[in-house]
Amino acid sequence: MASTATVAGIGPVFHLEEEHAHAEGGSTMLGFWLYLMSDCLIFAMLFAAYGVLGGNYAAGPAPKDLFDLDLVAVNTAMLLFSSITYGFAMLTMDKGRVAATQAWLAVTGLFGLAFLSIELYEFAHMIHEGATPQRSAFLSSFFTLVGTHGLHVTFGTVWLVTLMVQVARFGLIEANRRRLMCLSMFWHFLDVVWIGVFTFVYLMGMLR
Amino acid sequence: MSAHDHAADHDHAHGGAAHGSLRGCLIGFVLSVILTAIPFWLVMTGAIDDKQATAIVVMAFAAVQIVVHMVFFLHMNTTSEGGWSMLALIFTLILVVIVLTGSLWVMYHLNANMMPGIHDMREMP
C-alpha cells in the first residue's frame, strides 16, 4: 500500500501507492446515511422533549380526549404502503424500466400526500377544538414532534416530484439512480421515525 | 491489497448497496403489517388488563419493527460501505439512548422532588 523513498537532501518521503480516482458519487450513499443519522438525533431530542413534557396538560385536553386511533391506524397504513411501493420503484429501477418506475413513484407520492392530508385534518381538528400548540406543554411538544415528521414527509414528497421530472427528462441515468437511492433511504427512514411516533405518542398516550 | 481487490471492492460498493429483492421487500412488508396491527389491536381493545404490561409489549413490538425496517427496507448490514454505516448507526444509537434515558430519568426525579415544593414556598416568609 505505502512505500517510502529517500530523496537526497530531504530525507524519507512517504507516499501512498495505488492512489486511484474515486468515481463521482461513490461516497454519496455513506454521506447521506450520516445525514440521516444526524436527523435521527434531531428526532431523539424531540422525542426526549415529548417524553419529559408529554404529561403536562396544564388542565387542558389529554391524549385520550384528542387522539383518534382509527385515524392514526389509517395514517400508519398509508406510510407502510408508500414504503413498499417505493421498494417496488427501486426494484423496477434496477431493471431499467422507466415507465414502471415512474408509476410506482407516483403511487408512492400519492400515499405520501394521503398521509399528509390525514395528518393536516387531524391537526386542524385538534386546533378547532382549542388544542393549539400554545395550550399546554404536552401540546407544544406534540405538535413539534409530529409536525417535524410531517415536514420531513412534505419535503420528501417535493423531492419525489422533482426526481420524477428528472427521470422523465433524462431517464434512469447513473446520477438519477443515485438520487433515487438517497430518497429511498430518506423515505424508509421517515417510516422508522413514524414507528416511534405512533408507539410513543399515540399508543402510549392512549394508555396514560 | 492488489489493484484487482480494489476493483472488486468498488464493484461491491456500487452493485451490492441498497438493492433488495422482491422477496425481501414483501417479507419486510408482511412483518411490518403484523408488527403494526398487533400493538394497535392491543391498545384499541385493551386485550391486556394491565396498562403497564401493555405499554411494555407495545414498545417491544416497536423495537422489533424498527429492526425489521432497518434490515428489509434500509438494507442495513455489517458489510455495506465497509462497515462504516453500521458504525455510524451504532454511534447514533448510543447517543439516542443517552439522550432519551438521561432526559427522562433526570426530569422524572426533578419533577418528583419539586412537587411538594409549591406548598413549602408559600409558607416561606
Segment A118-128 mean pLDDT: 96
Per mean pLDDT, which of A4-18, A103-117, B105-119 is the most reliable? A103-117
Which of A19, A53, A188 to probe the B interface (max B CBs under 10 A)? A188
Percent of chain A exceeding pLDDT 70 equals: 91
Q: Does residue A33 contact residue B86 with C-beta atoms inside 8 Å? A: no
pLDDT digits (tens, 9 = 90+) for A16-43: 666 666 777 788 999 999 999 999 999 9
d(CA B76, CA A58): 43
pLDDT digits (tens, 9 = 90+) for A33-73: 999 999 999 999 999 999 999 989 999 999 999 999 999 99
Nearest to A87 among B73, B81, B100 (CB): B73
pLDDT digits (tens, 9 = 90+) for A69-96: 999 999 999 999 999 999 999 999 999 9
Residue B26 and residue A37: Cβ atoms within 8 Å? no
Q: Which residues pair with B70 in a beta bridge?
A: none
- CA B115, distance to chain mean position in Å, is 33
Task: Please give the CATH number for the structural domain made up of A22-43+52-207.
Answer: 1.20.120.80
Q: How many of the other CB atoms lie within 10 Å of CB of A114?
A: 17
Q: Is the pLDDT of residue A120 over 90?
A: yes
Residue B10 and residue A26: Cβ atoms within 8 Å? yes
Chain mean pLDDT for chain A: 92
Nearest to B100 among A18, A51, A69 (CB): A51
A192 touches chain B (CB under 8 A): yes
Confidence category of residue A5, pLDDT binned at 50, 70, 90: low
Residue B18 and residue A184: Cβ atoms within 8 Å? yes
Q: Which residues, in sequence order, are CB contacts of A5 under 8 Å at separation 6+?
A: A12, A13, A15
d(CA A14, CA A12): 7
Q: Would you tell me which residues 48-67 of chain B have a C-beta closer than 8 angstroms to some C-beta of chain A?
A: 51, 54-55, 58-59, 61-62, 65-66
B98 touches chain A (CB under 8 A): no
B77 touches chain A (CB under 8 A): no
Q: Would you tell me which residues 41-100 of chain A have a C-beta closer than 8 angstroms to some C-beta of chain B?
A: 41, 44-45, 47-49, 51-52, 69, 72-73, 76-77, 80, 83-84, 87-88, 90-91, 94
Which cell numbers in the block locate residue A153? 414527509
Confidence category of residue B118, pLDDT binned at 50, 70, 90: low
According to the 3-state scheme, what is the secondary structure of chain A? CEEEEEECCCEEEEEECCCCCCCCCCCHHHHHHHHHHHHHHHHHHHHHHHHHHCCCCCCCCCHHHHCCHHHHHHHHHHHHHHHHHHHHHHHHHHCCCHHHHHHHHHHHHHHHHHHHHHHHHHHHHHHHCCCCCCCCHHHHHHHHHHHHHHHHHHHHHHHHHHHHHHHHHHCCCHHHHHHHHHHHHHHHHHHHHHHHHHHHHHHHHHHC
A32 touches chain B (CB under 8 A): no
Which chain B residue lies closest to A207 (C-alpha atoms)?
Answer: B51
Q: A42-46, B28-32, B113-117: which range is least confident on average?
A: B113-117
Confidence category of residue B10, pLDDT binned at 50, 70, 90: very low
Q: Is the pLDDT of residue A10 over 70?
A: no
